[in-house]
Amino acid sequence: MANDDHPTRLREAFFGRLKGPKLRPHQAALIADRLPELRVDLAQPAPADPAALFAVPVEAVRLEIGFGGGEHLLHRSGEQPSVGFIGVEPFVNGMAKLLSALDDAPRPNLRLYDDDATRLLDWLPEASLAGVDLLYPDPWPKKRHFKRRFVSHRNLDRLARVMKPGAQFRFASDIDTYVDWTLIHCRDHPAFEWTATTAADWHTPYPGWPGTRYEAKAIREGRRPAYLTFVRR
């Protein structure tokens, strides 16, 4: 990171641009003042149990990688107050949108990280997460960019290390090639098992699914979302 407020994009990072339109003054103030209070500090030793990261007692900890505008993360953290959620989003405007929402709907069971998710995964202790969500990630559709897709053998190794046995890895996308890519990579990884039992399972949204703006856009444009769930063996 170049400094605490503006992460530097790695050459082979799994995310794209870091900034969009100029932030409004209130949003900029939230990034400067509120984000440091919620940011997971990787300069500190990782706790033996990540539940210690939260201001309230939590029974389990889940991770959402690339939360976009935060709609799903805000919904889940409100729906399950006894679960701690860590949300990762390097895109400054997405982070600012979530922080604005937290003004009206505080979440003491929520922590944030605004840099590369792999750094957080390497920092977390083994078998410490009850679940990981990767929802509508950047598909990197050009073949020369496939190596920048988050789903890879190396990153599945990372997920396997930090997920508890029985924990779920949930992946949603409207891009067929990325869905196929994920199915193949998880099929070939010894730590993960696809849970689908019927042909309709992978087109059925997750229980309590609130939808996201990315999903709504995909449906408007005629792309059918897929919802994959894999269990950590």
Q: How far is CA 55 from CA 42, 127, 132, 141, 212, in A?
A: 17, 21, 21, 40, 27
Task: Please provide residue 109's backbone torsions phi and psi, each rounded to the nearest 5 degrees.
Answer: -100, 25
Q: How far is residue 39's CA from residue 25's CA, in Å, rounded to a whole number?
A: 20
Are 180 and 209 spatial neighbours (Cβ–Cβ below 8 Å)? no
Q: How far is residue 45's CA from residue 99's CA, in Å, rounded to a whole number?
A: 26
Among the listed residues 114, 116, 133, 138, the single catalytic one is 138
Q: Are strands 129-135 and 110-113 parallel, antiparallel or unpaired?
A: unpaired
Catalytic site residue 201? no
- Which positions are catalytic? 138
